[in-house]
Structure 1
Amino acid sequence: MFIRTLLWGTNITLGNFTTIEDDVIIGDNTCIGNNVTILSGTRIGANCQIHSNVILGGIPQDLKYRNEYTLLEIGDDNMIREFVTINKGTASKMKTVIGNSNLIMSNAHIGHDCTIGNNCVIGFSVGMAGEVQVGDWSNISGLTAVHQFSIIGEHTMISGLSRVVKDVPPYIIVAHDPLQYLGLNLVGLKRRGFDSKKLEELKAIYRILFQEKRNTKFALQLIENEFEQTIERDKVLDFIRHSKRGIVKGYRE
């Protein structure tokens, strides 16, 4: 097996008492704080900030792991705060992937084979089990626990202290226990440039899905028949139809 040696970009800042193993790549202008541990198989992009006591590329906390060669890939412009731990992949997907321009707050844990998109916020002390998928522009608030294999759609907001055991469709806010739909993520969507017409379309789609208490299969067919085809409509339909574990609940009685 071919193992890369340590490859450095330019203008890298390295703190005191930091350990970096072989087979690590670090991009330009990345700043690494004190007492950081970066283990073999880790790839870090450019312009990242890795704060003190972070551990990257740790061995997966999965009993199926058999020391196979896997990776942790971290994109550009990420900020990873104190005491974050991110494990590398297993034979399942061979790598854990963190996209670009994410903020991962202190004490968060991201397990093996997870995929985090771009422009996400992972709140403090979020615990994310293995093989979770998180879409772009998602915001997972502090002290949330995310069950393995969960899928979180893009532009979502998950309130703090939540327990995610079902898939979360795109564009919405969810909260409570059990987790339930509370409405559109209006603040986030407006910040991303969604206009009033698009917001009304999404409100109407989710009203049929969650508020009118229809069978999910029938609701999806109704949405497909009654709404003009758009990127957003199709993302909602595709997400729910491909969910293997089911989606969050609608409004509580």
Structure 2
Amino acid sequence: MTDSKQAFIHPMAVVERGAELGAGVHIGPFCHVSAGAQLGDNVDLASHVAILGTTIIGAGTKVFPQAVLGAPPQNAKHTGGPSRLIIGANCTIREGATMHAGTDSSRAETRVGDNGNFLAYTHIAHDCIVGDNVTFANGATLGGHCEIGNFVNIGGLTAIHQFVRVGDRAFVGGFSGIVGDVIPYGIVSGSRAKLRGLNIVGMKRSGMSRPDIHALRAAYRVIFDRTRPLAENLEAAKTQFEADSIAWQIISFMNSKEKRQFTVPPVGGLADDGSDDDD
């Protein structure tokens, strides 16, 4: 249902019959909103925005020109069946950004959390799950089926391979290619990215205590000790940090029933964050 008294629709915009518009929605010139769209209160489409298919956008989200949201997945397995894109509240989606709906033969849903900041020409592919409070810099790209945690920062012109997971509060440097899972709180970068340490700055900014930072660093050193295989290190970490809920965030992330590839430190690199100064 459209609340025409409170929603503004520019006369040069096209809003198909069946679209649901919340109170205070603003739809600028040359926008196209499909019949299956649902726009929450105070959603703002600046101009030249395409909202396609079954796309649900949370309250307060602002979308800039040339963004295309909810297009069918770029997946040959998609047969045209029902699928959708869900975007959370209070997101900023800048110029030329694209987010695709899910694949009908898979999750059939792409989901983006609240308070995301997606800069120009970012791309979220089919069947991805993106957490809250993320930042994607210009040109950051997700392949299909990726899972991105909360408070993740992804640098510009970075590509993340399909099915890769990135843990909470990780930092991904610009110009990087990510082909393996990134642990929570990790910093990764490189054309075939390597783990460079822990996001100490991000931990401090989040208010994490000094003892918790030390616990994460200790777990990091055990898990990525080069003298033993990674699987053996992970078992040792389970025993050593069983009672530590902070360290367990990394351990549980890596303790998947599936066989997964992880982004690890470079050969010859220190299995540490490179700094002993946590003040």
Answer whether TM exceeds 0.5 for this pair: yes
CA separation of 1:211 and 1:247: change in aligned 2, threshold 3 A: same
Cα separation, partners in 2 of 1:213 and 1:139, compared to 1, 3 Å: farther
Moved more, 114-123 or 219-228: 219-228
Shift of 1:212: 4.0
Q: Is the 8 A contact 2:58 2:89 kept in 1?
A: yes
Letter in 1 for 2:189: A
TM, length-normalised to structure 1: 0.95
Aligned counterpart, 1:113: 127
Does residue 8 of the first structure (1) align with residue 18 of the second (2)?
Answer: no
Between the aligned residues of both structures, percent identity stands at 32
Select the structure of larger CA radius of gyration.
Answer: 2
* 1:199 is aligned to 2:216: no
- Stretches of structure 1 lacking an aligned partner (at least 5 in a row): none
What SS class does the counterpart of residue 246 from structure 1 fall into?
coil
Cα distance change, pair 213–82 in 1 and its aligned pair in 2 (3 A)? farther
Is 2:176 aligned against 1:162?
A: yes
Tell whether 2:189 aligns with 1:149. no
Q: Kindly state the Cα deviation for residue 5 of structure 1 after the two structures are TM-superposed.
A: 2.0
CA contact (8 A) 1:8 1:27 kept: yes
Pairing 1:55–2:68 present? yes
Could you state the TM-score of these two structures normalised by the residue count of structure 2? 0.86
> Would the aligned equivalents of 1:56 and 1:86 in 2 still touch at CA under 8 Å?
yes
Contact 1:210-1:251 within 8 A present in 2 as well: no
What are the within-5 Å matches in structure 2 for residues 1-253 of structure 1?
A: 5-91=18-104, 92-242=106-256, 244-253=259-268
**Code of the aligned partner of 1:184:** L
Q: Which shows bigger deviation, 212-221 or 35-44?
A: 212-221
Alpha carbons 1:167, 1:248 under 8 Å: kept: yes
Q: Structure 2 counterpart of 1:135, which letter?
A: G
Q: Which runs of 5 or more residues in structure 2 are unaligned? A: 1-16, 269-279
Query: Secondary structure, in 3 states, of the residue corresponding to 2:86?
Result: strand
Deviation at 1:183, TM superposition (A): 1.2
Which region of structure 1 is more displaced relative to structure 2, 237-246 or 163-172?
237-246
- Give the CA RMSD over aligned residues: 1.3
Give the secondary structure class of the aligned counterpart of 2:249. helix
Structure 1 position 179, deviation (Å): 1.4
1:240–1:246 contact (8 Å) kept in structure 2: no
Q: Kindly report structure 1 stretches of 4+ aligned residues shifted beyond 4 Å.
A: none
* 1:86-129 CA distance string (max 9 Å, x none): 00001200100000011011001110000000000111111211
CA drift of 1:211 comes to 4.0
| 1:38 to partner: Cα distance | 0.3
Conserved? CA contact 2:141–2:159, under 8 Å: yes
Distance in 1 between the 2:67 and 2:164 partners?
24
Q: Tell me the CA shift for residue 182 of structure 1.
A: 1.0
* Corresponding letter in the other structure for 2:244: T
